[in-house]
Amino acid sequence: MTVTKQSHLFTKTRREAPADETAKNAQLLIRGGFVHKEMAGVYDLLPLGVRVLNKINGIIREEMNAVGGQEVHLSALQNPETWKTTNRWDDEVVDNWFKTELKAGGMLGLGFTHEEPLTELMKNHISSYRDLPRAVYQIQTKFRNELRAKSGIMRGREFLMKDMYSFSSNEAEHLAFYEKAKEAYFNVFRRVGLGETTYLTFASGGSFSKFSHEFQTVTEAGEDTIYISKENKIAINKEVFTDEVKKDLGLGDDFIEAKAVEVGNIFTLATKFSDALGLTYKDETGEVKPVFMGSYGIGPTRLIGTIVETLADDKGIVWPKSVAPYDVHLVVIGSEKPDVATHAEKIAADLSVQGFDVLLDDRDARTGEKLGDADLIGIPMRVVISEKTMAEGKLEAKARTADAASFMTFDEVVEALKS
């Protein structure tokens, strides 16, 4: 596994966030050296942020692959003619396009979603009932020309999205996959540490179906209001929260109002796009029918911000082990002393051999600064090495959220990390 010396990171922690940054997630991520703010709604991911993102994307890929998803990577540059078939090139229909003129003449758009181009693409690969069902997904940059970007990296003008689309022969086949996707989404949110605060939320189905399903994580930083039925572990978005909806869902009046952020959504597209773009198949009798579709979205970068918003404490970020940039933060007190530095590098190497990623704080900095930075960065376990720990033949270990540190042997630290 990886050992990274903190002195080799080009990024630095900061005591203060930019004055114009009001969102807690962005403040902590900037201070911790995870992201850099280019402008409103546009953020760069730095080495620590990339490590977190890669772990989140890995979890998403595993869950999408488990339900039969096949990964692609579609172009962000969009052909207007494809979008005109559904009338979504019109700025009065979709008001957040980024559009640009080609030097040779004509226009292109930067994709804000990919229903149209993927439907067009699948016309080359679906022609028979034997080609169905299929599920195709990508993890790709999206662009939305928001009037006002806010909420840090939870709502940007450029962001990463995992969007998956299902292609089925009929509604029954679609619904069977839809339920599998729903469970896969629950798995994702559980695995990234948001399972206890994320609710399946009924929302407007728009023009496609009576309801869509959002996955809403409770946080005061959220832009949505939901009503939670704790007994049933489901919620209803305020936009559709009526007595009729409660009755349709078989729910009573025991709801808790909460602010929440939408971290994912799944919904039925039916034949809206296949009708418009001519995506059809021949059934067993040779009859030509439109393909029945569904859409399933998760924002990986939004997940990063949501994890920070919901789990951070007054000292800094608290990463769940599953998505933390490193497993252990090895803090060296007295790193200028050769024997201490040599011992620390040996412990780091031994932890790596045991299968752990290690961030080794070998910087020439004060003890308080190092311990404060460890809390800010939020790696699940901090292990301190000093002349004192060396004299006792032990390591000073502390879980990120623990009140106090404990002196442990190397083997005890390994067991603690494994658990």
Please report, for the chain, the start and end positions of each structural domain, with discontinuous segments joined by +.
34-311, 326-418
User: Residue 107: is its pLDDT beyond 60?
Assistant: yes
Burial class for 317, CB neighbours closer than 10 Å (0-12, 13-18, 19+): buried
CATH number for the region 34-311 comes to: 3.30.930.10
| Prior bond of 133 cis (ω within 30°) | yes
Residue 36 has pLDDT above 90, yes or no: yes
Count of positions (residues) in the chain: 419
Strand order in the sheet with 328-332: 3-5, 358-361, 328-332, 381-385, 395-399, 406-408
- What would the CATH number be for the domain defined by 326-418? 3.40.50.800
Band of residue 396 on the pLDDT scale cut at 50, 70, 90? very high
Torsion, CA 390, CA 396, CA 397, CA 398, rounded to 10: -160
Short-list 215, 201, 202, CA closest to 60: 215
Tell me the DSSP string of 347-402.
Answer: HHHHHHHTT--EEEE--S--HHHHHHHHHHHT-SEEEEE-HHHHHHT-EEEEETT-
Q: How far apart are CA 285 and CA 8, in angstroms?
A: 66
Position 247 pLDDT exceeds 80? yes
Q: Which tens digits make up the pLDDT trace of 194-240? A: 999 999 999 987 655 678 999 999 999 999 999 999 889 999 999 99
**Residues contacting 388, CB < 8 A, separation 6+:** none
Burial of 315 (0-12, 13-18, 19+ CB in 10 A): middle
Is the Cα dihedral 398, 358, 309, 229 positive or negative? negative
Task: Identify residue 145 by its one-letter amino acid code.
Answer: N
Predicted TM-score of the model (pTM) = 0.94
What is the layout of strands, in order, in the sheet containing 77-78?
A: 77-78, 107-110, 98-101
Equal fold, 34-311 vs 326-418: no
